[in-house]
Amino acid sequence: MAKKKAEQLRYNAEVASREELDYLRKEDKKRYKPIGWELSPHAVVEYIMGKKTKDFEITPKYIGSRRKIEVAVATLASNRALLLIGVPGTAKTWLSEHLSAAISGESKHIVQGTSGMYEESLRYSWNYAELLAKGPTENALVPSPILSAMKGGKIARIEELTRIPSDVQDSLIMILSEKILPVPELNMSIPAVEGFNVIATANEKDRGVHELSSALQRRFNMVHMPLPESLEEEVEIVHSRLESLSDLPPKRDKNMIEQIKKLVQIFRELRSGVTSDKQTRFQSPGSTLSSAEAISVMQSALALSENFSKGKLSARDISSALAGTIVKNTDQDKKAWNEYLELVLKKRKDWKDWYEACREDFDL
């Protein structure tokens, strides 16, 4: 990567992976494409899971079960809305962005769900100047991202669906089942163009906050996004994400892999409350410890080591960010982390540097 001037922080999936998408579009002539899709379901799966051919390599966007991805793609191909559920940091948003980019060629029709949301964010609002001047006309209508996606036959994305108040959620029902959006003010309804669909994500830890009504639930196919199955898989996820994310890509040397492995192991053990050899049980902290957190810990560690410790990543670089991630200002987290340090890390001989660094940060 050449040195760049200050640029946009991050590019949309369709921009970042333009080459790959173009390549697939060119190759993907023979297979059946649902109307409104840029790629065949097959090619979408390949785009997500990655593929190597003689002259071209498509990087994997998701590391994990291919079958899950197939279910997600098949859902969208059968014209059903897709709901990705999982604990934070299981690549739900990431996956929804890439699916939209691959299927519609764009991923920009997005609504961020919040608890203070009104129906307008899902339906439409008004340009009041226009409204006052000419009365209710189609021109005065300001479409929501959902409505734009309907009109353009694209995928609309809703983040954190279960944070949206239930009555607001329910305005999706008609959009999903009848594929129209009624505009009573104009005595009309706007139909969706083929190719329109919805991908929503929901946080499992929010379950029960604004549980989907059963009417809405029926209109989604649910795909549960799991935490990475094996240590190796998770290490690979962290590593490859670091490579694509930062300006300071981690070296693929032994030390780096070793340190990532140790970090991921700590996360996995804290999540499950038991050591990887199943010998010791301890209390699990309440904080979310997914691969996403591991990645951000590593990012700050990389910055530290690059700027202050001559580039060789050490336990000390990681430990400071680590404590902040695990201990989210509650006494319980603090107790759990202390217990883990004393019960587990202290006993591991080849983890001495980790124990000492973490201990020091803890005591500060």
How many C-beta neighbours within 10 Å does residue 297 have? 26
| Closer residue to another protein in complex, CB, 26/67 | 67
| Closer residue to another protein in complex, CB, 58/327 | 58
**Least distance from another protein to the Cβ atom of residue 182, Å:** 21
| Closer residue to another protein in complex, CB, 78/137 | 78
How many C-beta neighbours within 10 Å does residue 268 have? 20
Interface with another protein, residue 41, by CB under 8 A? yes
Interface with another protein, residue 166, by CB under 8 A? no
Interface with another protein, residue 29, by CB under 8 A? no
Interface with another protein, residue 217, by CB under 8 A? yes
Interface with another protein, residue 245, by CB under 8 A? no
Instruction: Please enumerate in sequence order all residues whose Cβ is within 8 A of that of 3, keeping only pairs 6 or more positions apart, or say none.
Output: none
Q: How many residues bind another protein (CB under 8 A)?
A: 24
Interface with another protein, residue 281, by CB under 8 A? no
Find out whether 130 and 137 touch, Cβ atoms under 8 Å: yes
The rounded distance, in Å, linking the Cα atoms of 271 and 265 is 10
Instruction: Please enumerate in sequence order all residues whose Cβ is within 8 A of that of 347, keeping only pairs 6 or more positions apart, or say none.
Output: none
How many C-beta neighbours within 10 Å does residue 255 have? 12
Exactly one of 13, 28, 58, 75 binds another protein (CB under 8 A); that residue is: 75
Find out whether 302 and 242 touch, Cβ atoms under 8 Å: yes
**Least distance from another protein to the Cβ atom of residue 94, Å:** 19
Place of tokens 């199955």: 229
Q: Binding segment for another protein among 21-29, 64-72, 136-144, 350-358 (CB under 8 A)?
A: 64-72
The rounded distance, in Å, linking the Cα atoms of 60 and 63 is 7
Residues 314 to 353 in contact with another protein, rule: CB under 8 A: none
**Least distance from another protein to the Cβ atom of residue 41, Å:** 5
Residue 283 DSSP one-character state: P
Interface with another protein, residue 42, by CB under 8 A? yes
Interface with another protein, residue 197, by CB under 8 A? no
The rounded distance, in Å, linking the Cα atoms of 363 and 342 is 13
**Least distance from another protein to the Cβ atom of residue 362, Å:** 37
Interface with another protein, residue 51, by CB under 8 A? no
Exactly one of 221, 265, 283, 288 binds another protein (CB under 8 A); that residue is: 221
Exactly one of 21, 63, 73, 304 binds another protein (CB under 8 A); that residue is: 73
- 238, with CB counted inside 10 A (0-12, 13-18, 19+), is buried
**Least distance from another protein to the Cβ atom of residue 264, Å:** 24
Interface with another protein, residue 45, by CB under 8 A? yes
Exactly one of 3, 32, 310, 349 binds another protein (CB under 8 A); that residue is: 32
The rounded distance, in Å, linking the Cα atoms of 307 and 244 is 20
Q: Is the dihedral of CA 351, 354, 360, 364 positive or negative?
A: negative
Interface with another protein, residue 78, by CB under 8 A? yes
298-311: string of b/e by CB count within 10 Å (b at 16+)? bbbbbebbeeeeee
- What radius of gyration do the chain's Cα atoms show? 23
For every residue of 55-71, DSSP letters joined together read S-EEPPS--S-HHHHHH
**Least distance from another protein to the Cβ atom of residue 48, Å:** 12
Measured CA angle at 50 (ends 46, 52), to 5 deg: 100
**Least distance from another protein to the Cβ atom of residue 334, Å:** 33
Q: Binding segment for another protein among 215-223, 270-278, 307-315, 335-343 (CB under 8 A)?
A: 215-223
Residue ranges that bind another protein, judged by CB under 8 A: 32, 41-42, 45, 66-67, 70-71, 73-75, 77-80, 83, 85, 214, 217-218, 221-224
